[in-house]
């Protein structure tokens, strides 16, 4: 995102928070469109995403064009005062593309073709796909570039395709040649002396296709990089076309949270608007914290600026094995949670529930039962309420704490052959995030090579790959006063996937004042002991699955494994502190450790005390308090405030109903005397 480009502010200007959803009128006869427009107005809808899956309607046969229906849709939306986020239809090619241009169809790692009949059947490296998608996008954008209904552009949908075909292999080799110039460098980087994998001609180099045994991890790591870059190249090609033909309108594509195949750090600078699709699993007890973590990732990708929740569901999805509906109040709570964490757009998949096709059982803003339903009443009430909050658009959220996350490290860490598959990058991020969230501490996600000066506490729950330059930077940041926490299996590999030699984590050994020599996964739990400054045991906690043989080299030992080897160390280094946690502590122990990290970093939550299940975050000058629990809770705070939602004055605390939300404007100065 660049400052001189149009952005989300271009769309929110004069509209406030954006509310709406994916609108697929091509699934309905035109008389329903009229009802849609009327209902949208009543529900305060001000933005709809149109055309995501309309390639087959726009180009029913190769080269044919039918834009007349879309003309009418855009006119109708414009007349209803609903802005359009117009999508390029390239996520779902019509069957004719695969039929006439079979090389557009993706091939999986086993060499099987993935056919049309669903969606997403395109190979990111296919020249035929590129030519045909560019043609339809050009005509679409030329036609609607200046249409007054079109407020922004939406490229494709949820980029994530991977293809192992011969054309992809060619492109992979091209990408590798840019990276390594010569085969010698490639052989060196991939460590091909192992198992006799030496390449003597470029033509021998392939994607990591299905093979008899474990495929070279460095080859797979480069393949993951290539796949993300290849999709990005496709996104950029469409984007550049739109920029040329429709300058002045911002462009987005929708992310999928912690979606492993795509490195969103490299994508984010290429987008005018960061947008995300978020479908929590209500059967996961930690889903509210996961939601917060994912929203914080989006805000961080947007460089701290507002972002958009492009898709969420009003109720149940239909693609999990068992799909829980949302209780009353949940859709509002989830949407306001995203606003609290920096979202300026709250959109849903989809406006009207489909009567046919693969998503017949997916909830929508207008259910099949029609507008006279509890579900639609909730949607309408929420839309109107968001309207009242228009001033919030554009305000920002600040964090003192960062969690380090790097897609390349994630790819490298979760290789097939490793000490334990019970280590999970995203689970460890969530484990460390959760106690901070519980205490109302706002967290950003940061790439390890990003600027860390805004933060006082930086946590790397599992940073398997760390470059020497980043390790030096982190070390100097601690020396200058930062507080760093490093979790297990961090600092183990270089960016090629070669493990560092010497005691681990080699590049962070000095700053941690501790080092290890062996990973020792365990089956189930181990009992660890807290130690005081004199080394005495001060209680116990459990950890699971993972232990290490480490020794303190200047750090104090905070906790030990059975057998008395260090499990957690703390090292005063320069003006800062570096912690090393060599296991997966249980939630209570991580909460205890988090309190100590916070004390070292002098970081505190936005409220002194938060009842279980209550989330608190400050956006702009407003304090948001959200009750994710099923019971009424009282949340204490000091002094006077006004609840912006109700206008009620409050003193010293607020009561929140189940799934209730309060947005507080606190009054400066000491509390008034009673």
Residues noted as catalytic: 158, 311
3-state secondary structure (DSSP) of residue 468:
helix
Residue 342, CA atoms < 13 Å, CB-side half-sphere: 29
Task: Measure the CA–CA gap between 22 and 346, rounded to whole angstroms.
Answer: 11
3-state helix, strand, coil in the chain (%, to 5): 35, 25, 45
Whichever of 360 and 416 has its CB closer to ligand GLA, that residue is 360
Whichever of 312 and 493 has its CB closer to ligand GLA, that residue is 312
Instruction: List the one residue out of 69, 68, 247, 39 whose CA is nearest residue 150.
Output: 247
Nearest-approach distance from CB 52 to ligand GLA, in angstroms: 6
Nearest-approach distance from CB 70 to ligand GLA, in angstroms: 18
Contacts of 209 (CB under 8 A, 6+ apart): 109, 110, 111, 164
Q: At 575, which helix (H) or strand (E)? A: none
Whichever of 63 and 117 has its CB closer to ligand GLA, that residue is 117
Nearest-approach distance from CB 56 to ligand GLA, in angstroms: 15
Contacts of 288 (CB under 8 A, 6+ apart): 280, 337, 613, 615, 628
Nearest-approach distance from CB 362 to ligand GLA, in angstroms: 5
Nearest-approach distance from CB 644 to ligand GLA, in angstroms: 31
Residue 305, CA atoms < 13 Å, CB-side half-sphere: 16
Task: Measure the CA–CA gap between 627 and 646, rounded to whole angstroms.
Answer: 16
Whichever of 349 and 504 has its CB closer to ligand GLA, that residue is 349
3-state secondary structure (DSSP) of residue 307:
strand
Strands 457-460 and 566-573, by their bridges, are unpaired
Task: Measure the CA–CA gap between 425 and 413, rounded to whole angstroms.
Answer: 8
Whichever of 21 and 507 has its CB closer to ligand GLA, that residue is 21
Nearest-approach distance from CB 254 to ligand GLA, in angstroms: 6
Whichever of 354 and 449 has its CB closer to ligand GLA, that residue is 354
Buried b / exposed e over 598-623, threshold 16 CB at 10 Å, is: bebbebebbbeebeebbbbbbbbebb
Taken in order 582, 586, 587, 589, the sign of the CA dihedral is: negative
> Residue number with the shortest CB distance to ligand GLA?
277
Nearest-approach distance from CB 389 to ligand GLA, in angstroms: 25
Whichever of 318 and 604 has its CB closer to ligand GLA, that residue is 318
Buried b / exposed e over 464-473, threshold 16 CB at 10 Å, is: bbbbeebbeb
Q: Are 515 and 551 in contact (CB under 8 A)?
A: yes
DSSP 147: -
Category of 243 on φ-ψ map: left (φ > 0), alpha (ψ -120 to 50) or beta: alpha
DSSP 450: S
Task: Measure the CA–CA gap between 446 and 172, rounded to whole angstroms.
Answer: 28
Q: Alpha carbon of 631 to those of 329, 332, 566, 612, 655: distances in Å?
A: 13, 17, 41, 10, 11
Positions touching ligand GLA (CB under 6 A) are: 157-158, 277, 279, 311, 317, 349, 359, 362
Whichever of 21 and 461 has its CB closer to ligand GLA, that residue is 21
Q: What is the DSSP string of 76-116?
A: HHHHTT-EEEEEP-TTS--HHHHHH-GGGS-B-TTSPBPPS
Whichever of 331 and 397 has its CB closer to ligand GLA, that residue is 331
- List phi, psi (to 5°) of 208: -75, 75
Nearest-approach distance from CB 261 to ligand GLA, in angstroms: 15
Whichever of 66 and 281 has its CB closer to ligand GLA, that residue is 281
Task: Measure the CA–CA gap between 338 and 346, rounded to whole angstroms.
Answer: 8
Q: Are 81 and 41 in contact (CB under 8 A)?
A: yes
Nearest-approach distance from CB 418 to ligand GLA, in angstroms: 31
Helices 217-245, 166-180: axis angle to 10 degrees equals 100
Nearest-approach distance from CB 311 to ligand GLA, in angstroms: 4
Whichever of 226 and 349 has its CB closer to ligand GLA, that residue is 349
Residue pointed to by tokens 């969530």: 430
Q: Are 611 and 635 in contact (CB under 8 A)?
A: yes
Nearest-approach distance from CB 358 to ligand GLA, in angstroms: 8
């Amino acid at each position: 995102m660049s400052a001189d480009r149009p952005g989300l502010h271009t769309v929110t200007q004069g509209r406030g928070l954006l509310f709406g959803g994916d609108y697929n009128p091509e699934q309905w006869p035109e008389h329903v469109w009229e009802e849609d427009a009327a209902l949208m107005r009543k529900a305060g809808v001000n933005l709809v995403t149109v055309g995501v899956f309309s390639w087959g309607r726009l180009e029913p046969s190769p080269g044919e064009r039918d834009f007349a229906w879309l003309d009418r849709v855009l006119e109708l939306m414009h007349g209803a005062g609903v802005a359009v986020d117009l999508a390029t239809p390239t996520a779902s090619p019509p069957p004719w593309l695969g039929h006439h241009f079979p090389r557009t169809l993706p091939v999986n790692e086993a060499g099987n073709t993935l056919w049309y009949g669903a969606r997403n059947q395109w190979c990111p490296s296919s020249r035929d796909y590129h030519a045909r998608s560019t043609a339809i996008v050009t005509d679409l954008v030329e036609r609607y570039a200046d249409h007054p209904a079109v407020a922004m552009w939406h490229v494709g949908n949820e980029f994530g395709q991977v293809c192992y075909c011969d054309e992809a292999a060619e492109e992979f080799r091209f990408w590798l040649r840019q990276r390594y110039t010569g085969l010698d460098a490639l052989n060196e980087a991939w460590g091909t002396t192992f198992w006799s994998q030496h390449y003597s001609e470029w033509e021998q180099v392939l994607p990591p296709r299905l093979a008899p045994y474990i495929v070279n991890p460095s080859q797979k790591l480069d393949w993951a990089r290539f796949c993300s870059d290849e999709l990005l190249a496709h996104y950029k090609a469409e984007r550049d076309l739109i920029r040329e033909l429709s300058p002045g309108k911002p462009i987005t594509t929708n992310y999928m949270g912690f979606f492993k195949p795509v490195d969103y750090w490299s994508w984010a600078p290429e987008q005018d608007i960061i947008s995300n699709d978020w479908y929590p699993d209500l059967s996961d007890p930690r889903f509210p914290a996961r939601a917060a973590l994912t929203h914080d990732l989006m805000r961080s990708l947007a460089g701290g600026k507002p972002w958009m929740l492009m898709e969420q569901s009003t109720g149940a999805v239909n693609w999990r094995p068992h799909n829980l509906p949302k209780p009353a109040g949940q859709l509002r709570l989830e949407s306001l949670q995203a606003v609290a964490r920096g979202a300026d757009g709250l959109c849903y998949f989809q406006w009207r529930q489909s009567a046919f096709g693969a998503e017949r059982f997916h909830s929508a803003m207008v259910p099949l039962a029609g507008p006279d339903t509890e579900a639609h009443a909730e949607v309408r009430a929420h839309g109107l309420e968001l309207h009242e909050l228009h001033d919030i658009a554009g305000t920002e959220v600040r964090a003192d704490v960062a969690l380090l996350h790097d897609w390349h490290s994630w790819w490298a860490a979760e290789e097939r052959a490793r000490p334990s598959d019970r280590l999970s990058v995203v689970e460890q991020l969530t484990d460390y995030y959760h106690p901070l969230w519980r205490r109302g501490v706002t967290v950003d996600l940061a790439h390890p090579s990003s600027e860390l000066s805004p933060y006082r506490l930086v946590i790397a729950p599992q940073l398997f790959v760390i470059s020497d330059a980043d390790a030096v930077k982190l070390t100097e940041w601690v020396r200058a006063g930062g507080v760093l926490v490093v979790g297990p299996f961090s600092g183990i590999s270089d960016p090629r996937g070669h493990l560092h030699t010497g005691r681990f984590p080699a590049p962070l050994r000095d700053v941690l004042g501790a080092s290890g020599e062996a990973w020792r996964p365990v089956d189930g739990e181990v009992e660890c002991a807290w130690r005081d400054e004199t080394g005495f045991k001060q209680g116990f906690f459990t950890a699971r699955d993972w232990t290490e043989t480490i020794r303190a080299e200047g750090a104090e030992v905070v906790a030990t494994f059975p057998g008395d080897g260090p499990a957690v160390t703390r090292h005063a280094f320069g003006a800062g502190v570096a912690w090393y946690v060599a296991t997966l502590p249980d939630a209570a122990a991580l909460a205890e450790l988090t309190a100590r990290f916070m004390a070292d970093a002098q970081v505190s939550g936005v409220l002194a005390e938060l009842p279980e299940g209550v989330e608190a975050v400050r956006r702009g000058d407003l304090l948001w308090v959200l009750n994710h629990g099923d019971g009424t809770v009282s949340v204490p705070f000091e002094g006077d405030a006004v609840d912006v939602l109700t206008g009620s004055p409050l003193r010293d605390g607020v009561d929140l109903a189940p799934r209730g939300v309060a947005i507080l404007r606190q009054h400066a100065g000491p509390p008034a005397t009673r």
